[in-house]
């Protein structure tokens, strides 16, 4: 296989860093964000999946690949599979105490990820930030934030298609006292606030930054605060959908409220 993927690059960086925390966190962030093709024993039945499970000395593993072509190359024959997000796979495997065999025999990122690591990834991705209310006194340019966090935010928000018009990262002083940084979303889609706050929290977590280093807020473009954000903030433009999403029933793992069931 000649195509180099995001996971290949993240895995190579982790290997070069000798398993350092920063590179390891970035690899797991990429794993949670990517699409994985899971090898099945038979075609999926609704939300019920029957993955191939391999028992080795290190535990029990389900096989996943980040390209369809890699799954086909491993199987060597037409084989049933399910395309799932990495976060859904993590949640699914954690519930069953299974590990993930990633890209085995077909890519430089080939690795066995034990059940404990998949459980940690599922727990990390499922964490929801706390909600608080605070009044902003002053707004300024962001200062002192590491490039790793800025890069993580840029990558994370690039996948939040259509969830908001834009976001601004600013320094703030609160009326109740205290200073910090705020990631402010402008014109968030109705109901998308939790997903956006979660995405911001994941960028913090996988950058190795303390959770208290950044708050998240939501504003309408007509709000006077939006002009202050634009004047002082570092802007992130969120991609917008080109066409309306199809109304067909989603396949297994596409509905986050109905994760697939292993059988």
pLDDT above 60: residue 12: yes
Average pLDDT of the chain to the nearest whole number: 87
- Residue 164's pLDDT band, with cuts at 50, 70 and 90, is very high
Confirm if 258 and 88 have CB atoms less than 8 A apart: no
Distance CA 88, CA 262 (A): 12
Structure tokens at 1: 């296989």
| Closest by Cα among 133, 134, 131, 139 to 224 | 139
pLDDT in tens, 207-226: 876 655 788 999 999 999 99
Measured in degrees and rounded to the nearest 5, phi and psi for residue 202 equal -65, -40
Q: Which of 54-68, 113-127, 159-173, 199-213 has the lowest mean pLDDT?
A: 199-213
| Cα separation, 214 vs 236, whole angstroms | 15
Distance of alpha carbon 70 from alpha carbon 105, whole angstroms? 9
22-72 residue pLDDT tens: 889 989 999 998 999 999 999 987 778 899 999 988 899 999 999 999 999
**CA–CA distance, 253 with 255 (Å, rounded to integer):** 6
Separation between Cα atoms, residue 139 and residue 228, nearest integer Å: 7
Q: How many other CB atoms sit within 10 Å of the CB of residue 65? A: 29
Bridge partner list, 216? 183
| pLDDT tens figures, 218-262 | 999 999 999 999 999 999 999 988 765 454 545 565 555 555 666
SS in 3 state form for the chain?
CCCCCHHHHHHHHHHHCCCCHHHHHHHHHHHHHCEEEEEECCCCECCEECECEEEECCEEEEEEECCHHHHHHHHCCCCCEEEEEHHHHHHHHHHHCCEEEECCCCCCCCEEECHHHHHHHHHHHHCCCCCCCCCEEEEECCCCCCHHHHHHHHHHHCCCCCCCCEEEEEEEEECCCCEEEEEEEECCCCCCHHHHHHHHHHHHHHHCCCHHHCEEEEECCCCHHHHHHHHHCEEEECCCCCCCCCCCCCCCCCCCCCCCEEC
Q: Which domains does the chain have, with CATH numbers?
A: 6-126 (3.40.1350.90), 136-232 (3.30.300)
| Position 131 pLDDT exceeds 80 | no
């Amino acid at each position: 296989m000649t195509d180099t993927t995001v996971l290949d690059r993240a895995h190579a960086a982790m290997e070069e860093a000798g398993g350092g925390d920063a590179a390891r966190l970035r690899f797991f962030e990429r794993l949670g964000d990517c699409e994985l093709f899971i090898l099945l024993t038979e075609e999926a039945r609704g939300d019920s999946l029957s993955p191939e499970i391999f028992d080795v000395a290190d535990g029990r593993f389900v096989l996943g690949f980040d390209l369809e072509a890699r799954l086909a190359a491993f199987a060597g024959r037409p084989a049933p599979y399910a395309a799932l997000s990495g976060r859904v796979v993590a949640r699914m495997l954690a519930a069953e105490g299974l590990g993930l065999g990633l890209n085995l025999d077909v890519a430089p990122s080939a690795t066995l990820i034990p059940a404990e690591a998949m459980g940690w990834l599922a727990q990390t991705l499922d964490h929801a930030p706390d909600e608080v209310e605070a009044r902003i006194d002053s707004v300024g340019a962001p200062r002192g934030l590491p490039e790793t966090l800025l890069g993580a935010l840029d990558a994370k928000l690039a996948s939040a298609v259509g969830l908001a018009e834009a976001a601004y990262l600013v320094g703030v002083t609160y009326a109740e006292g205290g200073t910090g940084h705020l990631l402010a979303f402008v014109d968030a889609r109705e109901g998308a606030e939790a997903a956006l706050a979660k995405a911001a929290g994941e960028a913090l977590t996988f950058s190795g930054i303390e959770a208290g280093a950044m708050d998240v807020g939501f504003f309408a473009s007509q709000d006077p605060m939006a002009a202050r954000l634009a004047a002082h903030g570092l802007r992130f433009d969120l991609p917008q959908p080109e066409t309306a999403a199809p109304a067909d029933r989603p396949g297994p793992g596409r509905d986050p409220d109905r994760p697939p069931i292993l059988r």
